[in-house]
Amino acid sequence: MERFYGLLRRNLKRRMTDGFAFGYNIVFPLVLIGVLGVLLRGSFPEQITSYQYYAVVMIPFCTCMGVVTIMYAGKEDAFAKTGERVMMTPVSKVEIVSTKVFAGTLILGGCACLVYAVARGFFGLPGEGMAEILLFYFLLSFAVSGVGTFLGIAMKNFMVLKNVVTIPISILGVMAGVFFRVGSSSLVVERILSCSFLRWGNKALFLAMYDGDGTLLRRISVICVCIGSISMLGAVKRFRKEEYIYGDLPSA
Amino acid sequence: MGIFLVLRNNTRRNFRKRSTYVLFVAIPLMVLLFGMVSENIKQKSYVIGVISEQSLEWGAVPEGIRVVSIKPEHANTEVIMGNCDVVVTKDALEKEIQRNTKHTKREREEGKEKKNVMKQMLGMVCTVYFVFATLYASKVIRDKKEGGLARFEYAGGKRVEYYMGNLLSTFIVVFCQVAMVLVVLWMVYGENVISGRSAALLALCISLVSAMVGGIVAALAKSELGANVSVTIFAVLCSVFGGTFLAVEQMPGILGMIGKCSPIYWMICLLG
């Protein structure tokens, strides 16, 4: 356990000193909430203000975008040439992978909770189901960290993946109504839009906050735990010493 | 000569990875496809949600109005997410229909509507290419780290020549990709929405601006992660202020002025 805590502390320290993680997950969402809130303040129904809407949808979106920083975290030992030293110590690959996932979870989840607290204070987000919502942010972060670590540690074509991973997330974000509301009463269209997992997350958050119904949020939280766990196991299974130590070599 | 050597070498490197090249054409095409789909899925009628435990048939309603059943525990969420415009009880339905019959006929000028969607999509394509151009240009970061730039300087080349060559090679690869995307767009929408001349001009401008943004970000960034994150944030902000989501003319006060500084605004203006 001592080795686990040692590695976790080291990973947390690295994540905390990583300005990009904070920029992406605190500054970026707050700026977007402010800007889009001002620009589109007249185009929302009486149930919600534009600031509240963008606060709700922007936090999960930015948490998902954080997958890039987690992917790089998976390769940071190779980039910093410290992979060999880590491999010489008596730590198992389970410990290496899990500490990366948990450090990412704590930082991404912490950032999401901070943005939520600021949005609640400044824009008056309803306090309904707060505990469940905060837990959901951490579990979503767990899923994102799991997937990010898997992509960073276990995938050979990291150089290509790191370049394009944010684009599909942005498209799914647009389908989820992150930048403008995309709603439809048609069943077919709703099914197409439902392909975006972010849309489910947003719906669950709105239901919990504005209709007091946390059922969907709890279900999605369970799915997040499953995705995170499966990705973590996948990363452990596909962990390759050589890739971990020398994985910074470009393929082109 | 130095510029030409870097240009030739980096252009070869850019085109070597065919899968990446195809992906960088396919992703903007997916964005455009999404735009076309969203154009058809936009609510063309006023949707009234009626609180009801079961899904019911609502019979004949006036043109321009749709009535759908909404579960009582989802009432606020359906309105917030834009699935219906208003939620009423069964008793208030008749009154709501009468109240909205007159002003709900949303007659759309087909061409104008398509052009607006096209402007939005163009804004998104520009955003995507800002990121892609940076990814191509960030080769310079790797070359700095691995000593490629130092070797070039030992051989008598100047650092500025290296950056210029890299910028030009980025421009060439991005131009080829943007041109392919715009040709598809032109074929789908036709001359009414985008003329061949506008498409050519746009391809040139988008690739030039993207290559410059990518070149500058890559030259300033210390790591590839830094370049990646910085350009994503820059591109999204340019897109938001540049009129991708709300026309710059409709933005309040100073935000409208900021919007006019965004390169994406000027790209959208080229559409007319």
**pLDDT confidence of residue A251:** 43
B233 interface with A at CB cutoff 8 Å: yes
**pLDDT confidence of residue B254:** 81
Residue A252 lies in a domain: no
Cα A23 to Cα A66: distance, rounded to the nearest angstrom: 10
Q: B27 and A166 in contact by Cβ < 8 A? A: no
Secondary element (H or E) of residue A218:
helix A215-237
Q: Tokens 């001359």 sit at which residue?
A: B191
Residue A51 lies in a domain: yes
The pLDDT tens digits of the residues spanning A100-125 come to 999 999 999 999 999 999 999 998 88
The pLDDT tens digits of the residues spanning B115-153 come to 677 777 888 888 888 888 888 888 888 888 888 888 888
Average pLDDT for residues A24-50, to the nearest whole number? 86
The pLDDT tens digits of the residues spanning B63-104 come to 777 788 888 888 888 888 887 888 888 787 778 777 776 555
**pLDDT confidence of residue A119:** 92
Above pLDDT 90, what percent of chain B?
2
Q: How does the average pLDDT of chain A come out, rounded?
A: 86
**pLDDT confidence of residue A1:** 77
pLDDT greater than 50 at residue B10: yes
Q: A207 and B74 in contact by Cβ < 8 A? A: yes
pLDDT greater than 70 at residue A248: no
Residue, of B184 and A118, whose pLDDT is higher: A118
A192 interface with B at CB cutoff 8 Å: yes
Q: Is the Cβ–Cβ distance between A211 and B74 less than 8 Å?
A: yes
Cα A46 to Cα B164: distance, rounded to the nearest angstrom: 53
Measure Cα distances from A169 to A68, A235, B216 in Å: 11, 21, 25
Q: B225 and A68 in contact by Cβ < 8 A? A: yes
Cα A4 to Cα B185: distance, rounded to the nearest angstrom: 54
- Give residue B39's pLDDT band: very low, low, confident or very high (50, 70, 90): low
Residue, of B227 and A55, whose pLDDT is higher: A55
Residue, of A220 and B28, whose pLDDT is higher: A220
Q: B240 and A48 in contact by Cβ < 8 A? A: no
Residues of B within 8 A of A177 (CB-CB) are 81-82
- Give residue A21's pLDDT band: very low, low, confident or very high (50, 70, 90): confident
A53 interface with B at CB cutoff 8 Å: yes
pLDDT greater than 90 at residue A92: no
The pLDDT tens digits of the residues spanning A134-187 come to 999 999 999 999 999 998 887 777 766 776 787 788 888 888 888 878 766 566
A178–chain B nearest CA distance, Å: 10
Q: B240 and A53 in contact by Cβ < 8 A? A: no
Q: Is the Cβ–Cβ distance between A167 and A64 less than 8 Å?
A: no
pLDDT greater than 60 at residue B43: no
Chains A, B: CB contacts within 8 A come to: 130
- Give residue B112's pLDDT band: very low, low, confident or very high (50, 70, 90): low
Helix (H, G, I), strand (E, B) or coil at B69: strand
pLDDT greater than 80 at residue B61: no
Residues of A within 8 A of B66 (CB-CB) are 185
Structural domain harbouring A185: 2-246
**pLDDT confidence of residue A60:** 94
C-alpha neighbours within 13 Å on the C-beta side of residue A44: 23
A123 interface with B at CB cutoff 8 Å: no
**pLDDT confidence of residue B102:** 57
Q: How many domains does chain A have?
A: 1
